[in-house]
């Protein structure tokens, strides 16, 4: 009878899982920043209140294994009352999200490269 101690392997695997999660969260935050920037450029400006209200939520929600969600859009009062009407008349959030969809793979690849560089 023989035994193998795999505690070090399991600890390394857990550390790698945390690093992958960090890369995912970095990717989501970067995408949120780019969506915010693009939406602020496209939003029609009357008083500037709607433009200033477009922001990222500070909290990232975990929606599954290595899966996260971040809210980007008009936040705060009284902007939430009329932001939907403005979006219907002159879309600014949907085009901003569609621009980032094509770049998300590159954003995630850069984040993963940073994670993998630690293990090289």
| Cβ neighbours for 56, distance < 8 A, ≥ 6 positions apart | 29, 32, 33, 36, 70, 71, 72
- Residue 86, pLDDT > 70, answer yes
pLDDT digits (tens, 9 = 90+) for 13-66: 898 888 888 888 889 999 999 999 999 999 888 778 888 889 998 899 999 888
Contact 84, 50 (CB under 8 A): no
Provide the 8-state DSSP code for 59.
P
- Residue 120, pLDDT > 70, answer no
**pTM of the predicted model, to two decimals?**
0.79
């Amino acid at each position: 009878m023989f035994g193998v101690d795999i505690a070090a392997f399991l600890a390394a695997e857990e550390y790698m899982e945390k690093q992958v999660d960090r890369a995912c969260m970095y990717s989501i935050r970067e995408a949120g920043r780019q969506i915010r920037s693009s939406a602020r450029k496209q939003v029609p400006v009357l008083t500037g209140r709607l433009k200033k209200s477009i922001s990222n939520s500070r909290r990232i929600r975990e929606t599954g294994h290595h899966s996260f969600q971040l809210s980007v859009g008009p936040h705060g009062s009284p902007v939430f009352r009329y932001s939907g009407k403005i979006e219907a008349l002159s879309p600014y959030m949907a085009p901003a999200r569609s621009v980032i969809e094509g770049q998300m793979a590159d954003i995630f690849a850069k984040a993963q490269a940073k994670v993998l560089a630690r293990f090289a």
